Chain A
């Protein structure tokens, strides 16, 4: 193993060690959403003609869990080692900014995909969504997890204590994931909120991912790919710059 591979391995081991908290918990939460919303709204909401509401909900919930967990992995690991002070062991190594990026974001992608896949598998009990164009689902899962892993690096570096990170999570990540069309098609929204949704990158991640399942979506998957791809590049570049200057980790 080279240096970055060891860091990647350690970052994966870190969440695997506490899998009840990092994998099982989020899957259970998604299941509760599915159970409650599916039960309450199944007979009231119809998004696509051939798709039951619960089936519609499954990919969105899987993607939402994937995104939130990818973010949580890199951000909580960084803030914890900053607060505990053990980041010094990493700062003393010859690992470059690029190595840090690949290891932290890579582990975030792994955790996001494990949780997302877990949600899909467990929700098969309730509804089986078709997998019309699986490649789209894979592409959006990987891109979305990378974007959120990189955003987690930015948030983890920026935060000085757990409160800062919680604020980032509660006031940015949570609203944007909830308002991204996980629970509804944005076509059901009033025009103003439809417009607002088009400025939310999370909308494109969810919509593109769902396209992989149903072969239909609110906007073209190519448009979503463009938006999510550009956002991923931009946030990755931001994370790389912060890592390179050692933002808030090297004086």
Chain B
């Protein structure tokens, strides 16, 4: 099976780059190839100009990866894990930076706790600290906020944004498109191993057509609306090309006998763009097939 197909991406130094796509699109495979965890059958990947296969030591020294899975070594505590990890990269006397990482990620009072004793969110913080312990110029975060509480998300993004300002390149994958929209200056969207969109976040947003009608309803949507709508519980969001489309939707809702509340018309967000792009890609695939 082809996991990635003719993916060609260049991320500039200092960029905050988002890699989006549904599950199974190939995001983690792409990251694994960059990190040397998986070998590409064809093609070249470079980190800061270093080929990830032929010059792997230099490439890996420049790369810090936060893996998606919550993994840990049960034999050691947080500080030991960080000391070992910097040691593997040949970084000595790293105590000051380790202390700063612990502080920035709210781990200071867990420094001597065994990894086993930490909650999921705390383990996630340790994964971030481990990835940053050798001060890599390139940081890769593979769904770092999956299953993470609000507080950590805010701490984490504040810290990553600070590192990005200091010149670190950040590559982020996430299913939280609000996060991607707020953080990433440029975005690539993957579907079935192919890049189906690649542009600056603002260009992607402004290219999205029309507006979105958002409202809450108290019952089942009529069939002709269900196919178009983004539904979250009672909240319904419908892409509307123009004012006439909005009026049409409202008329259909009224005909269906639904009580409509909290009506709002807004600009499309990244999630709308994402859905449009994926929809278009699906149609293209069908046409090719």
Is B56 in contact with A88, judged by CB distance below 8 angstroms? Answer: no
Q: Which of B67-86 contact A (CB under 8 A)?
A: 67, 69, 71-76, 81, 84-85
Q: What residues of chain B lie closer than 8 Å to A93, measured between beta carbons?
A: 60, 85, 88-89
Is A6 in contact with B37, judged by CB distance below 8 angstroms? Answer: no
Is B69 in contact with A85, judged by CB distance below 8 angstroms? Answer: yes
Q: What residues of chain A lie closer than 8 Å to B69, measured between beta carbons?
A: 85, 88
Chain B nearest Cβ from A50, distance in angstroms = 47
Is A10 in contact with B84, judged by CB distance below 8 angstroms? Answer: yes
Specify the chain B residue showing the minimal Cβ separation from A17.
B75
Complex CA–CA separation, A65 to B213 (angstroms): 74
Q: What residues of chain B lie closer than 8 Å to A5, measured between beta carbons?
A: 87
Is A92 in contact with B35, judged by CB distance below 8 angstroms? Answer: yes
Is A92 in contact with B90, judged by CB distance below 8 angstroms? Answer: no
- Contact-residue bracket for chain B: 20 to 34
Q: Does A7 contact B (CB under 8 A)?
A: yes
Q: Which of B63, B74, B81, B87 contacts A92 (CB 8 A)?
A: B63
Q: Does A170 contact B (CB under 8 A)?
A: no
Is A86 in contact with B72, judged by CB distance below 8 angstroms? Answer: yes
The answer to whether residues A94 and B57 also contact, given A10-B84, A250-B38 and a CB cut-off of 8 A, is: yes
Is A95 in contact with B72, judged by CB distance below 8 angstroms? Answer: no
Q: What residues of chain A lie closer than 8 Å to B92, measured between beta carbons?
A: 1
Is B36 in contact with A3, judged by CB distance below 8 angstroms? Answer: no
Q: A residues touching B (Cβ–Cβ < 8 Å)?
A: 1-3, 5-7, 9-10, 13-14, 17-18, 81, 84-86, 88-96, 246, 250-251
Q: B residues touching A (Cβ–Cβ < 8 Å)?
A: 32, 35-39, 56-58, 60-61, 63, 65, 67, 69, 71-76, 81, 84-85, 87-90, 92, 130-131
17 examples of A-B residue contacts, CB within 8 angstroms? A2-B90, A5-B87, A6-B88, A84-B71, A85-B69, A85-B71, A86-B71, A89-B130, A92-B36, A92-B37, A92-B63, A92-B131, A93-B60, A94-B57, A94-B58, A250-B38, A251-B37
